[in-house]
Amino acid sequence: MNIVLLGSGNVATHLGRAFKLAGQTIVQVWSPDINHAKELADTVASEAISDLDDINRDADLYIISVKDDAISELASKLKIGDKLIVHTSGSTGLEALEGVSSRIGVFYPLQTFSKNKAVDFRQIPIAVEASNPEDVAVIRAIADRLSERVMELSSVQRKALHVAAVFACNFTNHLFAIAQELLEAENLDFDLIRPLIAETADKIQLNEPESVQTGPAIREDREIILSHLEMLQDKPELQELYERLSQNIVNLHKQSQG
């Protein structure tokens, strides 16, 4: 299968490598910045282009993997006839590709990609969608070569998955950044808390989050909560966040108890 990859960010990079490993051919990598295109093209033995007029019109699959708000505009500039084209966004509907081709779809790998860290693509869930059933089958077959966990989701389901991922991954990582800030203010190393973070994620692999919730909020230990809020008095943003999250934990607990 011949693939044209449009984009050179984290998702495009990891996807390109995974396709290459799975024996597919990336015929071109496009990026508005030719140096970015070249950097990725080199690692997947492909041609780099920055002019959309140079696009190869004979590929089997075109993958748009750019910032969400740039997908529609880029798609509208493509002259590729009735070829299969997909985007890789969690929260962008299929309709962002309408008018480009009659064969449009989505190929959304659910993972947090950092350029310098390899991931095991076999375990990454890939949500697929397409405007017609034949193309669902085609995209699914492509995804099956990369991952053991491929599923067809509607745009609404995929978006829910993306929002859930923002909470479980992006916001979680931000909480780690806050922890680091608090530690460094007392000359403590972030390394102190790394085993706790590892265990917090590890616990969840075999348990439901609610059943392993710990801490002052779930115990409704008002005295400790107040003393923590007092400690955060010079950081009103964190104080408010602490209060809100604690209250949410209490509320969720009450709700689930009936």
CA geometry: angle 16, 30, 119, nearest 5 deg: 20
Decide if residue 177 touches a copy of itself (CB under 8 A).
Answer: yes
**Contacts (CB under 8 A) with a copy of itself, residues 13-52:** none
DSSP states of 62-91 as a string? Answer: EEE-S-GGGHHHHHHT----S-EEEE--SS
Binding residues for a copy of itself, total number by CB under 8 A: 95
**Nearer Cβ to a copy of itself (57/194):** 194
Q: Which stretch binds a copy of itself (CB under 8 A): 57-65, 79-87, 100-108, 153-161?
A: 153-161
> How is residue 58 written in tokens?
């004979």
Residue 161 binds to a copy of itself (criterion: CB under 8 A): yes
Under the binding rule (CB under 8 A), the answer on residue 159 touching a copy of itself is yes
Min dist CB 89 to a copy of itself, Å, is 8
Give me the amino acid identity at 136: V
- DSSP assignment of 21-64: HTT-EEEEEE-SSHHHHHHHHHHTT-EEE--GGG--TT-SEEEE
94 belongs to the binding site for a copy of itself (CB under 8 A): no
209 binds a copy of itself (CB under 8 A): yes
Which of the stretches 19-27, 34-42, 100-108, 212-220 binds a copy of itself when contact is defined by CB under 8 A? 212-220
Which tokens hold the place of 209?
Answer: 């989050």
